[in-house]
Amino acid sequence: MQMVARIQPLRQSGCLRRFLATIQSHKAWGWTGLCVYACAVTFPHQQVQDVVGHLAERFTLKRLYQASVALALIEGVALTALFFVYARHLQGKAPRRWLTSYWLLSFSVMVATWRLFTANNTELVHYPQYFPEGVALLALTLSAADSIAWITLFAAFDEGFQYVFLMRGRAAPFDFNDVYMDLAGAAAGIVFAMAVLGCERSAVDRGWAKRILTKPGIILNLAIVVSGIALWASGKMALYDAPGSSDYWFSLSRLSTPTFWYFSPVILGPHHFHELSPVEGPILIISTIALFALLDRNLRISSPILAARDRPEFRRK
């Protein structure tokens, strides 16, 4: 009877919380579904661009941009309302303050990214596109730092596919702007998932930094950074393309920027936008990962569903 009494509140938890707990309990299926989703939103990129171009011809670019902003605002308001529904039930003031601060920070980053790095308003789709990936990764890893590190890899794969295949032969950079937009959308998804699953204040100890640095996603990102520095130092990788030179294997940009803080002279949307350089982009991304690692330092997932998922009595229910 006591066991039934403990399990009964778990049945009354929200459907979304149970769904995320299921992802955590079935990681193989969760990772498979995540990879399928990532491929589904990456490979049809050109087809999506063609559809957007058709809509622009039919309704004009101005109306398309206005509709994109309207949809983004509606999604933001709806998700914020839902976030606070879950955040209200968190135990203790500290988790609510941390998650609310990072939720607002995520949207502030989106606004700043829109103002500085976004070529046109149709690119606002990056935020809702990567929001579900952030939610799923938090459920899989139970770590904000590990989740956003994995998002960096998925986003880099997305932009790498475009840079190598879709933009081949064009004067274009590896698009760190889009990678950072992906990170901003996923960051909101990570915070949202933490509110849904529930979290509590974590005791800070001296080993927190080591635990974060040994997360698989963090290790892979650090390995890429170290490899990139080694390839650049050895001359096998160039930051900017040098036509006619065969000394390096690949470059991170086929567009040489004339100034450090470079703004594109072409207005493709509501304003000029800054093109992140092959140096600025990685520094900004690493800084963002470090910022979200503070969530791992101060909070831990405490969902009663996750705590009970391995009980035979709960699995039978």
Residue closest to 310 by CA, chosen among 26, 13, 32, 91: 26
Alpha helix stretches (DSSP H) within the chain: 2-11, 15-25, 27-42, 45-59, 61-87, 93-117, 126-141, 144-161, 176-197, 208-213, 216-233, 280-298, 304-308, 312-316
Q: What is the pLDDT of residues 57-68, one digit of tens each?
A: 999 989 999 999
Amino acid at 121: N
pLDDT value at position 244? 78
Distance of alpha carbon 108 from alpha carbon 129, whole angstroms:
18
Percent of the chain with pLDDT over 70: 91
pTM exceeding 0.85 = yes
Tokens 């901003």 locate to: 184
Residue among 299, 88, 278 at smallest CA distance from 212: 299
Strands 250-251, 237-238: pairing kind: parallel
Among 252, 273, 45, residue whose Cα is nearest residue 162: 45
pLDDT top residue among 316 and 244: 244
Residue 38: predicted pLDDT: 96
Q: Are 116 and 270 in contact (CB under 8 A)?
A: no
pLDDT higher at 87 or 265: 87
Q: What's the pLDDT band for 255 if we cut at 50, 70, 90?
A: confident
The tokens for 272 are 């000029």
pLDDT per residue as tens digits for the range 108-119: 999 999 999 999
Radius of gyration (C-alpha) of the chain in whole angstroms: 21
Task: Report which DSSP code applies to 121.
Answer: G
Q: What is the pLDDT of residue 311?
A: 43
**pLDDT tens readout for residues 189-201:** 999 999 999 999 9
Over 80: is that where the pLDDT of 76 sits?
yes
Average pLDDT over residues 289-293: 95
Phi, psi of 288 (to 5 degrees): -70, -40
